[in-house]
Amino acid sequence: MPPSPFEDCSPCIGHCSTSLGDAVCRGCGRTAEEVDRWLLLDDQEKHAIWDRVSAMDTIRNRRLIPPQRLP
């Protein structure tokens, strides 16, 4: 099976606030559970998370860091 195109495509920008007790990361917009399970999620689940966090007010989006998406 070929590697997943989303395998290394995490929304993480290294400003994780879930480790400080936030339920949703202020850096990337993912929940603590999504952060913990990211490598276990399939591409459809990752796509759904990317779609949701792209519309949120996060550090990532304020810096205009584009998500790395499949064409």
- Tens digits of per-residue pLDDT, 31-62? 999 999 999 999 999 999 998 988 887 777 77
Residue at 41 is within a domain: yes
Residue at 43 is within a domain: yes
Residue at 34 is within a domain: yes
Best-predicted range by mean pLDDT (8-12, 14-18, 44-48, 66-70): 44-48
Per the structure, the complete domain to which residue 54 belongs is given by: 18-62
Residue at 47 is within a domain: yes
CA torsion sign for 14, 17, 21, 25 is: negative
| C-beta separation of 58 from 28 below 8 A | yes
Residue at 9 is within a domain: no
Q: Which residues pair with 24 in a beta bridge?
A: 31
Residue at 69 is within a domain: no
pTM for this prediction: 0.72
Domain count, the chain: 1
| C-beta separation of 49 from 55 below 8 A | no
Residue at 36 is within a domain: yes
- Spatial CB neighbours of 49, under 8 Å, sequence gap ≥ 6: 11, 30, 34, 41
